[in-house]
């Protein structure tokens, strides 16, 4: 994978990230933050990879990273879901 | 061509048919203007102002009229004034032709071409000449002020330390131009306004002013006649209407009636019984008093107090607001004259809807049909 | 590798859709679900692509993480949501930093650690660690472990400046390969931890959500940087998405508070404007913003508006009616409580509200409205003061003792709008403003109502 | 304890000091009520209604007063009526104590405890007893209606087919309770309203009603006296004020003056010269006419036409709105009486700000300082 | 190659920014400039990256193209803009097809022509050619070379169907390499030319802009496909951008016409339904939405509001004032034009607007306001009809001929709000509604203004 | 350059294209169409390349393509600019 291509992807992704959020009602600020925070748990992919690639130390660091990232993902999506449930009309 | 402005000679008529401003307009349009001395006095226009506008001040009726081609007035000419008119001249004033048959006949004898501002068609194009509208608008406005001044109660809702004052209830009967303006004015003062009319399309107009429309439940068609004016209504409808009006008047603090049917006496909509059913301290202003009144107890140009209910029969409210009434009427008249007379030339286009519509005598004939019928029958 | 990357693209697309849908109340729930599916795809694809992985280890890690995350997520109270987000976010940043660190250690001393790689590693470690420590401080502040008040000491900004310079220097040294001492690397970690703390502690509790959002954006950037380290498309795209959208969200939040981001981060140096006192007695008031008011109103069924002289001064009658109409559109019952002496002349409020065309049947006088406060959710006091002063009911020494007042304090929540803590016509202090169920929204009534209207529409 | 309601005997006084509703309230509070026959007639309350409320109808003054402990009235007692009073009784009415020294002296002789509704302190707590406010509010409201009815022009802006009518310009001088209500009412009618007052804090109040405040440029302090009332102003201020008022009145269609200084004659703010500078057809309503008027040409209770400018000196506007005026005044009085008399027991708490404030004679002494000074000097 | 690709990315970023800015009146011009700079960068980078290029040939080609393009662009009249766009677009599609074809011929018979490559080539040739021929027909229709009316014959859809099937079949044959006969390739070209024609001729002149926009999107897709053939990032990104944004734009345009895309392409078999007729005469109206109205207003400096009876019927006076105030907040000058006979009684509009507290000095009567329309950006007509009927000025047969009217048509854009195409009090049709610079926003005035207010706030 | 990467770029570009246009006032429809049409003249890049890569026939086809694409670009941007000039305040 060459550098330029990756850069292209990175830049386009930033553009997409910039554009998809336009107007968000204040009540959704926290859930949106929480949801996108869960997505930043994508670090789990890196964590998984590093358990293998990183040798002994890497494996253990990776293991901790996996735990951390999983907390982020699982907790994040679940908390978001709970918050959003409140929006259901009683 | 010479146009003449006479001083009004009817008691209480404070308006004038031309203001210095419209005098100037008419002169600019190619006419010569004569203004009888003192014509503008009661509407606060001095002879000097007319002179400055280019008019010639004439001392009396005969010197004003002799040789004049067009005579402009507010109220109808007296028979004496007609005598002073040149034959074949043109005459414009407010005039209920069906009520003034004698005058109309005299005008035909003199071969005067007569125009009544009452007869200007109610079309969009003719609105700037529509004196009925401009004057009715004043009547509607003023009737509310006078009514409110008569009332022993407040118009608006007020919540004060000494208790809550409920808003006055105002009922407007007949929502033509005067009625609509009355609605608007009463609304402004904070009263609770409802209105009633026989023509169904008026409902939307009443609501467009934020008031409630009183509906009559009757199988029969409501009273819509020609040209958007009202006509007389059926018996069942009349009965339902009576019941409704009785119910509404009993609840009202101020009732303003404006119901008219062109060429007919005003319909009597509030009888003595209904008046006696009203709260003491309530007020009725009858704008139809000129044509007999919508209330049985109305006395033209009198304010009567019937068991604590005040019935005001003032017939000429516009004359109590003479500055603006004159300004608007004069503009209506000058628009009409300017419409007929282009570049100093008289063009009596008998095909023209407005000119033909407003004309009631021409070359010795009565051209207004209803008037003609009445004249031949009497 | 082909398929893995394809899966990453699919995951990224789902993230995009998910974030987009999270922005609108109707689609938010599905958005979250879609994003989580994206995550699942990314994880499965990653696991599947490496045959030499230690599955057991990973499984154990994931199970531990899931249990911790799920427990927190389920246990936490609704009011503690923001701190949860903060702490989860911290873990995410930490993970990125750890991965980058692991990569650093692995490649340390080898030729693989070229300038680009080591640069991105440093970036990832730095941002990830900062996010980690900053998020924990944010958590602590919101949870009450650390004082919610801004903690400031002189020289803080200077200290921060030095730390940033330090990090840049060390980072450059490592990157250009001048010095490969591992201690330098640890130095960066330590500085990043410190910086996370010092950047977060001076920020007041009310501004925390903005900071969390910013840290969230950082953790995205950290993930993206890690992606560059690992040359992994999935991390790069998703991280960039979160980084960019997080920044936008942070900005939106700042705008909502009428502040700039810079003002939130650096400006809040030590002003505690929440406690105001008038004549002798101290009243502790809770001051709030219009969008909080909007949210309180959103939850209400019955709202009573109490206009006073201030509404007339601000000529805010039209704005008040607009807000009332908006509330009615939202299905709430709205009434106006007219005190007989509100304003400066008999019937002042009537004149005012009639001008704004408020229907008469919505105006209730003292006698009619007072029983209504009992089951009223929110009373909004607009520039009224004396007429809602509870001292009239119980304080025999008060010059207005015995005057009937509007019992607004009986309603569940009272929102009071006025410009300052100044008293009204009678010149006496109003204890209502310090009541438990009272929230003050300071400002000119017209401006406040205009903003409130906007906020209500945006809910 | 017996309370007596007298029939008002001054020409044009249509109000009454108690309505059937307040009669009931007073009875519920432990009093016995006597109502002179016909007391409520002119405000449309029949004897029967008072009877139904629990009152005893008495035929004349002496039968109403003899044995009564409290007498409630609108206008001051006549000296004859005082003679019919029992010694030591309590008397409540509207009364400018500084102007009615003879009456006050007679009351002290009779050892009557006199209260004037004029003297009720203008505090927040006393608002429900504040008859000055409730009646001034009516005067302010009504003055605009009457003024607008006098006017020869429209109040609101109207753009019609016969031309554009500019809004009337209304100037309110003195923005106390009456002035503020006048502003509000004129505003409602669509006029362009500006107001002037010597007290600076009134600016905010005027603006809170959407009107413009006319500022006077003068070095000297404006006229703020005790208790929020106005006091007389300095000479420089007076000169600047005169210039300003001349300029503004000349531009105004309707001027309503309400300026008062308690215990003093009303300041003359509009002189003959200013009046003659006004447009013909303009109107001045002088609500201060009772105290001499703010306009030099005002004649109390007369409408004069000075060169086409109408100056209305009606002094008792509240009496023209007798239903609500009585309702509010009666409520003010009953609030005051109920405040003093708890459970049928009279508690003349002389420490109480309101009771002490409103009292002007007690046990043969004049307790109101300014009145006392005047009484000893004459 | 690195730098070339970097340049492409830069160009793509400039394109993105350019397109974005083209969407708002204030930034549109700079948007176009930015996009053209992007194009320049892309061209320079390409030329610079190939040392063996025949510069002379390219230069000649570019000079010829520039001259032709510039001549057309300068000479064309403003009214012919749409057909210019069409024809330029056709050339773009043609270019893509030619490049793909050239690639096909070069690789023909070699192993390079694998399934993927030949598939994308076919796609590019097909779409490019279709765009080319379709654009020319669109041009012809608008220019009047071909009848502007829909040309339909029975069986057209079936014929199209067969052609599509044919293309798919042939395409598959070539792609999977079963048959390498060059004639098959020519067959595709011929079918694509035909399809471009048959798809475009049945569409009416009024719908042409939508078709052009669609073809524009196609040419983007063709460019992107060519990018896949050449494995060129610049083409892929830019093509995809144009393809996607073009499709969105096409949709927006359809919505503006209250039609679906399918309806435009297939449904328009002969019905011109945007043409509404009342008494005999035909009026073509453009119907639009409040958010478009909001954007038109956003670009305006001076706005004149023209209230009529409909505003009173809707009791929308407060809503109108709110919109006006919002516009003023946005820095615009707002006036109200009061026709003397608007409404149903003298002064009706005055009463109405006074109730809504519109300051008197904003109300202008006929004489004062008519000169103002000349330099007015937007006139908003709210439930007025007769009083803005230009027939009063020139149509001697009109019953209102000679009445002074408000010259709203003199303003740059006229937004008309009413519920239907029904006439007003005078019962006559109003040609204003079909004017070039008029946009109708149908609906009850109050509802329309409330939404417009929201949209303005959201800009 | 590998396929997946190119596809990623393509998909992201489509997302960007999708998001950047949200609300466009009708008066800008034509200019926007015209401007983005000019951008589709990016085919010129392909054309230039094919003059070299495509051999004899390719060169000539490429030459024509260059002409076509240049017309598209130059004409497109210029026409757009002319249209937009109308929006300038007089
Ligand atoms: N009704 C009558 O006839 C009459 C006549 C004379 C006197 N009064 C007296 O007036 C008082 C009326 O009570 P009230 O509650 O209506 O008024 P209030 O007690 O005088 O309080 C008004 C409040 O409005 C606030 N305010 C002023 N301008 C504002 C603005 N632009 N935006 C927001 N808030 C603003 C002021 O606080 P900030 O300065 O902090 O903003 C003030 O505390 C009573 O004491 C009554 O006795 C009544
Ligand atoms: N001023 C006077 O004194 C007076 C008196 C009588 C008659 N007139 C006549 O009335 C006319 C006044 O002209 P104008 O332009 O004001 O009114 P108009 O010509 O009567 O037109 C009013 C328009 O408003 C629309 N409308 C009605 N309800 C609506 C709603 N809820 N929301 C949005 N639009 C609505 C109607 O179209 P849709 O039905 O399609 O919505 C109608 O075309 C003149 O012809 C005049 O001569 C005037
Ligand atoms: N074209 C224009 O621009 C224009 C201008 C002014 C007036 N007009 C129209 O002219 C018509 C007449 O207006 P006008 O004010 O001169 O009317 P009017 O003075 O003749 O009558 C007043 C009102 O009384 C009503 N009425 C009659 N009999 C009644 C009854 N028995 N009960 C209740 N109401 C009754 C009538 O319907 C009318 O609305 C209206 O339709 C008005 O809209 C049109
Ligand atoms: N506490 C309460 O609730 C309450 C209730 C009613 C009134 N008030 C207050 O009582 C005070 C008096 O009100 P009022 O209506 O009885 O006053 P008033 O009738 O005594 O005087 C009317 C107005 O005339 C003004 N004035 C006097 N001299 C003037 C001059 N030379 N030029 C111009 N204006 C002049 C006064 O300032 C006053 O505003 C006001 O401050 C009012 O707010 C208080």
Count CB pairs under 8 A between chains B and D. 116
**Which ligand is in closest contact with the Cα of D207?**
1
Q: Which residue is closest to C358 within chain B, CA to CA? A: B190
Residue B234: pLDDT band (50, 70, 90) is confident
Minimum-distance ligand 3 atom for the alpha carbon of B121? 1
Contacts of F4 in chain C (CB under 8 A): 2, 5-6, 9, 233
Q: Which residue is closest to F16 within chain C, CA to CA? A: C16
CB contact under 8 A, E426 and B205: no
Contacts of C366 in chain B (CB under 8 A): 159
Tell me if F66 is assigned to some domain: yes
Average pLDDT over residues B132-140: 96
Looking at per-residue confidence, does B26 or F60 come out higher? B26
Q: What is the CA radius of gyration of chain A?
A: 17
- Between B125, B181, B184, which is nearest E403 by CB? B125
Q: What is the pLDDT of residue C332?
A: 94
Any idea what the Cα angle at residue D336 is, between residues D335 and D341, rounded to 5°? Answer: 95
Interface residues from chain E to D (CB-CB < 8 Å): 338-341, 346-347, 349-351, 354, 357, 360, 363, 365-366
Query: Looking at the predicted structure, is the pLDDT value of residue C281 above 70?
Result: no
pLDDT in tens, A69-82: 999 999 999 999 88
**Cβ(D2)–Cβ(D89) below 8 Å:** no
Helix (H) or strand (E) holding D212: strand D212-213
Looking at per-residue confidence, does C278 or A10 come out higher? A10
- What is d(CA C17, CA C13) in angstroms, rounded to the nearest whole number? 6
Q: On the CB side of E298, how many CA atoms lie within 13 Å of its CA?
A: 25
CB contact under 8 A, D160 and B134: yes
Q: How many domains does chain A contain in total?
A: 1
Is the ipTM higher than 0.95? The answer is: no
Q: What is the pLDDT of residue C110?
A: 76
Q: Phi-psi region for residue C144, left (φ > 0), alpha (ψ -120 to 50) or beta?
A: left
A16 touches chain F (CB under 8 A): yes
List the chains bordering chain D where 3 or more Cβ pairs fall under 8 Å: B, C, E
Answer whether CATH 3.30.342.10 is correct for domain D136-315: no
Contact D130 CB / ligand 4 (< 6 Å): yes
Q: Ligand 3: distance of its center to the CA of B314 in Å?
A: 20
Q: Nearest CA to CA, how far is B276 from chain E (Å)? A: 33
Q: Phi/psi at D260 (nearest 5 deg)? A: -135, 150
> Over pLDDT 90: what percentage of chain C?
47
Tell me if F36 is assigned to some domain: no
Contact D259 CB / ligand 4 (< 6 Å): yes
Q: Ligand 4: distance of its center to the CA of D229 in Å?
A: 5
Residues of D marked as catalytic: 122, 127, 130, 133, 229
Q: Ligand 4: distance of its center to the CA of D176 in Å?
A: 4
pLDDT in tens, E322-342: 899 999 999 999 999 999 999
CATH number of D2-129+322-376: 3.40.50.720
- What is d(CA F32, CA E85) in angstroms, rounded to the nearest whole number? 11
Q: Which of D288, D227, D304, D231 is nearest to D256 (CA)?
A: D288
- Ligand 2 neighbours (beta carbon < 6 A): B 124, 127, 133; E 308-310, 313-314, 341-346, 348, 383-387, 417-420, 422, 424-426, 444-445
Average pLDDT over residues C340-368: 91
Q: Ligand 3: distance of its center to the CA of B266 in Å?
A: 12
Residue C130: pLDDT band (50, 70, 90) is very high
CB contact under 8 A, C237 and F8: yes
Tell me if A49 is assigned to some domain: yes
Q: Ligand 2: distance of its center to the CA of B195 in Å?
A: 20
Q: Ligand 3: distance of its center to the CA of D163 in Å?
A: 22
Q: Phi/psi at B196 (nearest 5 deg)? A: -135, 145
Least confident of B310-319, D66-75, E265-274, F66-75: E265-274
Residue E270: pLDDT band (50, 70, 90) is very low
Q: For ligand 4, atom 14, which residue shows the shortest CA distance?
A: D176
Average pLDDT over residues C234-256: 87
Least confident of C195-199, C273-277, D181-185: C273-277
CATH superfamily of E277-458: TPP-binding domain (3.40.50.1220)
Q: Which of D159, D161, D211 should we substitute to test contact with E (largest number of E Cβ atoms within 10 Å)?
A: D159
Tell me if A90 is assigned to some domain: no
Helix F55-70 vs helix E55-75: angle between axes, to the nearest 10 degrees?
30
Q: What is the mean pLDDT of chain E?
A: 86
Residue E143: pLDDT band (50, 70, 90) is confident
Q: What is the pLDDT of residue C238?
A: 92
- What is d(CA D13, CA D7) in angstroms, rounded to the nearest whole number? 10
Looking at per-residue confidence, does C389 or E231 come out higher? C389
Average pLDDT over residues C203-216: 83
Contacts of C5 in chain F (CB under 8 A): 4-5, 8
Tell me if A54 is assigned to some domain: yes
Q: Where are the domains of chain B?
A: 2-129+322-376, 136-315
pLDDT in tens, D119-133: 999 999 999 999 999
Tell me if A66 is assigned to some domain: yes
Looking at per-residue confidence, does F52 or B158 come out higher? B158
Q: Nearest CA to CA, how far is D320 from chain B (Å)? A: 6
Contact C70 CB / ligand 1 (< 6 Å): no
Q: In the β-sheet with B212-213, what is the strand arrangement from edge to edge? A: B212-213, B192-196, B169-173, B254-257, B283-286, B309-312, B303-306
Least confident of B69-78, B152-161, C148-157, F68-77: C148-157
Least confident of B109-113, D25-29, E104-108, E310-314: E104-108
Q: Where are the domains of chain C?
A: 1-75, 81-266, 277-458
Average pLDDT over residues C65-72: 92
Looking at per-residue confidence, does D193 or F61 come out higher? D193
Average pLDDT over residues E156-163: 85
Query: Looking at the predicted structure, is the pLDDT value of residue E147 above 90?
Result: no
pTM of the full predicted structure? 0.76
pLDDT in tens, B48-73: 999 999 999 999 999 999 999 999 99
pLDDT in tens, C359-400: 999 999 999 999 999 999 999 999 999 999 999 999 988 989
- Between B125, B134, B208, which is nearest E402 by CB? B125
Q: What is the pLDDT of residue B227?
A: 60
Residue C270: pLDDT band (50, 70, 90) is very low
Q: What is the pLDDT of residue D225?
A: 58
Choose which residue among C276, C283, C385, C402 to substitute to test ligand 1 binding: the one with the highest number of ligand atoms within 8 A of its C-beta: C385
Q: What is the mean pLDDT of chain C?
A: 86
Residue C274: pLDDT band (50, 70, 90) is very low
Q: Which residue is closest to B328 within chain E, CA to CA? A: E346
Average pLDDT over residues E124-144: 90
Average pLDDT over residues E110-134: 88
Lookup: tokens for E126: 């097909």
- What is d(CA E43, CA E55) in angstroms, rounded to the nearest whole number? 12
Average pLDDT over residues F53-58: 70
Q: What is the pLDDT of residue F83?
A: 83
- Between E313, E351, E402, which is nearest B184 by CB? E351
Strand runs (DSSP E) across chain B, as ranges? 2-5, 32-36, 56-58, 70-72, 90-93, 113-116, 158-160, 163-165, 169-173, 192-196, 212-213, 254-257, 283-286, 303-306, 309-312, 341-342, 345-346, 359-362, 365-366
**Cβ(A13)–Cβ(C240) below 8 Å:** yes
CB contact under 8 A, B159 and C363: yes
Q: What is the pLDDT of residue B228?
A: 59
Tell me if F80 is assigned to some domain: yes
Range of the domain at A71: 41-85
Q: What is the pLDDT of residue A53?
A: 67
- The total of other beta-carbon atoms located within 10 Å of residue B36's CB is 23
pLDDT in tens, B177-195: 999 999 999 999 999 999 9
Contact D231 CB / ligand 4 (< 6 Å): no
CB contact under 8 A, A15 and E237: no
Q: What is the mean pLDDT of chain B?
A: 93
Q: Nearest CA to CA, how far is A33 from chain E (Å)? A: 22
Average pLDDT over residues E138-142: 87
Q: What is the pLDDT of residue E269?
A: 43
Q: Nearest CA to CA, how far is B241 from chain C (Å)? A: 28
pLDDT in tens, B338-350: 999 877 778 788 9
Q: What is the pLDDT of residue F16?
A: 87
Average pLDDT over residues B118-126: 93
Q: What is the pLDDT of residue C276?
A: 40
Q: What is the pLDDT of residue C267?
A: 56
**Which ligand is in closest contact with the Cα of B244?**
3
- Look-up of token digits 């690397």: C185
Q: Nearest CA to CA, how far is B164 from chain D (Å)? A: 9
Looking at per-residue confidence, does E350 or E143 come out higher? E350
**Cβ(C78)–Cβ(A86) below 8 Å:** yes
Q: Of the segments B28-32, D148-152, E50-54, E179-183, which one has the largest average pLDDT value? A: D148-152
**Which ligand is in closest contact with the Cα of D231?**
4
CB contact under 8 A, E360 and D162: no
Q: Which residue is closest to B157 within chain C, CA to CA? A: C350
Tell me if F13 is assigned to some domain: no
- Between E355, E454, E457, which is nearest C357 by CB? E355
CA distances from C95 to B310, C99, C124, C422, F86 (A): 90, 6, 10, 52, 55
Q: What is the pLDDT of residue E26?
A: 77
Average pLDDT over residues C331-343: 95
Contacts of E85 in chain F (CB under 8 A): 30, 33-34, 37, 76, 79
Catalytic residue among C207, C291, C386, C409: C386
Q: Read off the DSSP letter of residue D76.
A: P
* Bridge partner list, B196: B173
Strand D283-286 with D254-257, pairing: parallel
Strand D113-116 with E282-284, pairing: unpaired
Q: What is the pLDDT of residue E58?
A: 86
Least confident of B275-279, E195-199, E276-280: E276-280
Q: What is the pLDDT of residue D149?
A: 97
Q: What is the pLDDT of residue E255?
A: 76
pLDDT in tens, A5-41: 788 888 888 888 888 887 676 667 888 889 999 999 9
pLDDT in tens, D159-191: 999 999 999 999 999 999 999 999 999 999 999
CB contact under 8 A, C386 and D124: yes
**Which ligand is in closest contact with the Cα of D199?**
4
Q: What is the pLDDT of residue B221?
A: 58
pLDDT in tens, B201-216: 899 999 999 999 999 8
- Between F6, F12, F22, which is nearest A13 by CB? F12
CA distances from B19 to B49, B52, B55, E7 (A): 9, 12, 10, 79
């Amino acid at each position: 994978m060459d550098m330029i291509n990756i850069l292209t992807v990175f830049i386009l992704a930033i553009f997409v990230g910039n554009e998809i959020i336009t107007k968000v009602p204040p009540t959704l600020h926290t859930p949106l933050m929480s949801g996108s925070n869960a997505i930043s748990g994508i670090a789990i992919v890196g964590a998984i990879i590093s358990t293998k690639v990183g040798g002994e130390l890497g494996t253990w660091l990776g293991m901790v990273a996996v735990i951390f990232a999983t907390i982020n993902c699982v907790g994040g999506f679940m908390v978001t879901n709970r918050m959003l449930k409140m929006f259901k009309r009683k | 061509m010479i146009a003449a402005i006479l001083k009004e000679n009817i008691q209480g008529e404070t308006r004038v048919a031309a203001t210095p401003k419209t005098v100037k307009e008419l002169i600019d349009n190619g006419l010569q203007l004569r203004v009888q001395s003192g014509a503008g006095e009661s509407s606060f226009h001095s002879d000097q102002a007319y002179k400055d506008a280019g008019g010639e001040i004439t001392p009396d009726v005969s010197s004003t009229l002799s040789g004049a081609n067009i005579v402009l007035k507010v109220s109808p000419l007296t028979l004496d004034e007609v005598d002073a008119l040149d034959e074949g001249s043109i005459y414009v004033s407010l005039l209920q032709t069906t009520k003034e048959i004698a005058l109309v006949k005299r005008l035909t004898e003199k071969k005067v071409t007569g125009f009544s501002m009452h007869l200007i068609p109610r079309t969009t194009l003719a609105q700037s000449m529509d004196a009925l509208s401009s004057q009715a608008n004043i009547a509607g406005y003023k009737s509310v002020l006078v009514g409110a001044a008569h009332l022993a109660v407040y118009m608006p809702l007020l919540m004060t330390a000494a208790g809550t004052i409920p808003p006055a209830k105002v009922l407007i009967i007949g929502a033509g131009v005067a009625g609509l303006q009355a609605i608007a004015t009463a609304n402004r003062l904070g009263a609770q306004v409802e209105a009633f009319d026989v023509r169904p399309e008026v409902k939307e107009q009443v609501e467009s002013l934020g008031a409630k429309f009183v509906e009559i439940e009757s199988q029969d068609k409501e009273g819509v006649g020609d040209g958007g004016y009202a006509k007389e209504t059926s018996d069942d409808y009349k009965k339902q209407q009576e019941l409704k009006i009785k119910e509404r008047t009993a609840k009202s603090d101020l009732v303003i009636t404006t119901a008219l049917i062109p060429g007919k006496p005003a319909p009597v909509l509030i009888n003595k019984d209904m008046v006696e059913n009203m709260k003491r301290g309530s007020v009725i202003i009858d704008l139809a008093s000129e044509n007999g009144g919508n209330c049985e107890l109305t006395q033209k140009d009198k304010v009567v107090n019937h068991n604590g209910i005040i019935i005001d029969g003032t017939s000429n409210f516009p004359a109590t607001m003479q500055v603006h009434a004159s300004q608007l009427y004069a503009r209506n008249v000058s628009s009409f004259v300017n419409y007929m007379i282009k570049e100093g030339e008289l063009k009596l286009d008998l095909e023209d809807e407005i000119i033909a519509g407003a004309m009631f005598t021409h070359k010795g004939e009565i051209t207004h049909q209803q008037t003609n019928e009445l004249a031949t029958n009497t | 590798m082909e398929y893995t990357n394809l899966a990453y693209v699919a995951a990224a697309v789902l993230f995009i859709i998910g974030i987009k849908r999270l922005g609108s109340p109707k689609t938010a729930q599905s958005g979250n679900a879609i994003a989580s599916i994206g995550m699942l795809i990314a994880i499965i694809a990653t696991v599947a692509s490496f045959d030499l992985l230690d599955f057991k280890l990973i499984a154990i890690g994931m199970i531990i993480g899931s249990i911790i995350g799920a427990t927190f997520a389920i246990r936490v109270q609704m009011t503690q949501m923001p701190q949860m987000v903060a702490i989860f976010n911290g873990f995410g940043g930490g993970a990125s930093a750890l991965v980058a660190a692991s990569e650093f250690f692995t490649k340390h001393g080898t030729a693989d650690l070229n300038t680009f790689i080591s640069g991105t590693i440093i970036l990832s470690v730095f941002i990830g660690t900062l996010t980690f420590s900053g998020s924990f401080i944010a958590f602590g502040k919101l949870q009450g472990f650390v004082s919610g008040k801004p903690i400031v000491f002189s020289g803080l900004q200077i200290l921060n400046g030095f730390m940033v310079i330090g990090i840049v220097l060390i980072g450059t040294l490592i990157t250009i390969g001048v010095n490969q001492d591992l201690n330098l690397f640890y130095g960066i970690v330590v500085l990043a931890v410190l910086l996370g703390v010092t950047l977060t502690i001076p920020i007041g509790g009310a501004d925390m959500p903005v900071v969390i959002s910013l840290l969230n954006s950082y953790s995205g950037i950290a993930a993206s940087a890690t992606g560059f380290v690992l040359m992994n498309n999935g991390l790069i795209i998703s991280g960039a998405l979160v980084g960019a959208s997080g920044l936008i969200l942070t900005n939106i939040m700042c705008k909502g508070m009428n502040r700039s981001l810079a003002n939130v981060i650096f400006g809040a140096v030590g002003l505690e404007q929440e406690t105001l006192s008038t004549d002798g007695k101290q009243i502790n008031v809770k001051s709030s913003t219009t969008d909080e008011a909007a949210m309180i109103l959103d939850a209400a069924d019955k709202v009573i508006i109490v206009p006073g002289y201030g509404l007339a001064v601000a000529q805010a009658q039209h704005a008040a009616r607009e807000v009332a109409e908006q509330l009615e559109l939202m299905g709430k019952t709205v009434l106006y409580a007219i005190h007989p002496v509100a304003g400066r002349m008999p019937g002042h409020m009537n004149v005012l509200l009639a001008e704004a065309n408020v229907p008469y049947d919505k105006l209730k006088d003292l006698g009619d409205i007072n029983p209504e406060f009992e089951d009223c959710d929110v009373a909004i006091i607009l520039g009224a003061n004396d007429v809602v002063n509870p001292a009239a009911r119980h304080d025999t020494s008060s010059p207005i003792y015995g005057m009937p007042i509007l019992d607004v304090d009986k309603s569940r929540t009272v929102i009071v709008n006025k410009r300052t803590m100044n008293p009204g016509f009678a010149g006496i202090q109003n204890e209502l403003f310090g009541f438990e169920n009272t929230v003050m929204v300071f400002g000119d009534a017209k401006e406040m109502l205009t903003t409130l209207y906007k906020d209500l529409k945006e809910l």
